[in-house]
Chains A and B, each alone.
Chain A
């Protein structure tokens, strides 16, 4: 069964600290993996898109990594800001029929 599991479910960090969110998946074969940021009450916003051949992709203070062999991805946030408080969703797009498989998200709370 194709699944996307994210951890931790929720995380609280202090402003200025770094954090890493995890995504494990069983979708196979897959064509690309995405990380989205979803602020409360708003739609998700794309942060990074990585194809199966890419190992890392950065977008400002956000860096995503991908290990296709172990089927793991991580999203690293550097020097966190209060505005980083949101849910972060990992999405894996299957190669067959281009199906989207969404994780349940990690809820990040950055405190001053």
Chain B
């Protein structure tokens, strides 16, 4: 079974530029999560999708972050414009139904550096 795929793996941009990350969840997984993990901290949920609908985006900084999951499969997360404090690893995860005991499978993450 193929895992969660993310690209790019690394990205370096200057502040005020825009950037986009892509995630392909495990085939058939209905639930997709985007997390931000700052160095030395645990992941923080940015947005959760169930199929192509948003379940939770309460911690997404909507003035600069946006995410979409067209057709309920792949997802993109965009930051525009980026700030220095956005430097972090952006993790994508998926689970089969979003049931409370479903296992989450994480991708390798995209490491973003904002200069």
Binding site for B on A (CB under 8 A): 4, 31-32, 41-46, 49, 51, 89, 91, 93, 97-100, 102-105
Given the known interface contacts A97-B56, A99-B56, the answer about A44 and B101 at a Cβ–Cβ threshold of 8 Å is: no
Instruction: Pick the most buried of A42, A43, A99: most chain B CB atoms within 10 A of its CB.
Output: A43
A99 proximity list for chain B (CB < 8 A)? 45, 56
* Cβ B100 vs Cβ A31 within 8 A: yes
Q: 30 interchain pairs (CB within 8 A)? A: A31-B100, A31-B101, A32-B100, A41-B109, A42-B108, A43-B4, A43-B91, A43-B93, A43-B106, A43-B108, A43-B109, A44-B91, A44-B104, A44-B106, A46-B105, A49-B103, A89-B42, A91-B42, A97-B56, A98-B98, A98-B100, A99-B45, A99-B56, A102-B43, A103-B42, A104-B40, A104-B41, A104-B42, A105-B41, A105-B42
**B contacts with A: majority SS:** loop
B63 to chain A, nearest CB (A): 22
B98 to chain A, nearest CB (A): 8
Task: Identify 12 new A-B residue pairs, CB closer than 8 A, beyond the known A43-B93, A46-B103.
Answer: A31-B101, A43-B4, A43-B106, A43-B107, A44-B104, A46-B105, A49-B103, A51-B101, A99-B45, A100-B45, A102-B44, A104-B40
